[in-house]
Amino acid sequence: MSSLTNRLREFLFAPQSSVWLTILRTGLGLQVFCYGISLRADWIELLGRENQGLIRRDLTEAMLSAESPFIPRVGWVVDAGAHFGLSERAVLWSVWLILMVAALLVVVGLFCRISSVVLWLLYLCTAKSAELLSYGVDNFTIIGLFYLAIAPLPDSPSLDARRGIRPRSAVLHGLHRRVLQFHVCIIYFFGGISKCAGHGWWNGVSLWRALTRAPFDLVPPEVLIRMAFVLPLFGILVCVMEATYPIFIWLRKTRFVWFVGVVGMHVAIGLMMGMYLFASVMIILNVAAFGTEVMGLGERRTDTGADLESNSSRTIDRNI
């Protein structure tokens, strides 16, 4: 029993370098910055209460209130600004500007803790206030930003570390990364199981519908018709890779194949369906969780001079 406890402790608290956190920090900062740039032209139309479209912010926030009155939303910020005589338009542009500044600060690693928390909260407010127009990219970005907000910042390459703020312990990095790894495994496992439960992924129909539905129909129909015979194969591969991800991503002999396969799947989603932000956030989460071992990025020595990533890999292999 004590041996099992010791192995579990070694696995959960295996010392890690901060490379994974650097990837998560810079990747998510750029992700949110690109998100803000892509919505700049429609920012007021998307979040303004005066929007005359079918889906208005007050409708979405009323639905949020029915679900829970504690879900953050842009309306709270707008109401707070109204007490100081600020118009809704001025508050919304202020939110956009702060979101962009926080994203850039996160990228360079300046005021990491405050910037990451502000970035997470503002992105959460924005995504929830436009929830009826959002999709999976917002959920996964919120997840990633939450892990960044509670992560052992700063990491070694950040400007905060260069200003003299000492990086946190390698053991703490190991624990936070383990939690992220578990969460990513859970996401792919249930995503794969839900795909396996239906017939569409086994016969290629789901892939066909995804690739021919506007505005994701970037691939010409004649090309899809010619390659229709391989759609069932690709569908089965997606089901198998996602459902078995929590197993084979941990094994040293299969980790590279599953990592490359999953990253390749998201690259294909981005290029063939135009879902660039969705593809990028999933790649960021995968690289931060498991990519350092695959790409050899964790072989760098930390301030203590210990090869922490190699020790971590040996711990994983010994316990699996």
What distances in angstroms separate CA 235 from CA 107, 196, 306, one per listed residue?
36, 9, 43
Give the pLDDT confidence score for residue 298 in this predicted structure: 58
Q: What's residue 166's pLDDT?
A: 86
For residue 100, the model assigns a pLDDT of 98
Q: What is the overall mean pLDDT for the chain?
A: 89
Cα separation, 225 vs 291, whole angstroms:
35
Helix (H) or strand (E) holding 179: helix 170-196
- pTM here is 0.89
Residue 52 has a pLDDT of 57
Picking from 229, 255, 241, the residue whose alpha carbon sits closest to that of residue 196 is 241
Model pLDDT, residue 136: 87
How far is 188 from 190, CA to CA, in rounded Å? 6
pLDDT tens profile 132-143? 888 889 999 999
Q: What distances in angstroms separate CA 263 from CA 53, 253, 257, 282, one per listed residue?
A: 37, 17, 10, 8
Q: Which residues of the chain have pLDDT under 70?
A: 1, 51-54, 297-320
Euclidean distance between CA atoms 159 and 109, whole angstroms: 5
Q: What is the pLDDT of residues 250-285, one digit of tens each?
A: 999 999 999 999 999 999 999 999 999 999 999 999
Residue 54 pLDDT: 57
Residue 206, φ and ψ in degrees, nearest 5: -65, -40
CA distance 79 to 73: 11
DSSP annotation of 133: G
Helix (H) or strand (E) holding 257: helix 252-273
What's the CA gap between 119 and 124, in Å, rounded?
8
Q: Side chain identity at 2, as an amino acid letter?
A: S
Q: Which residues contact 268 (CB under 8 A, 6 or more apart)?
A: none
Q: What is the pLDDT of residue 316?
A: 42
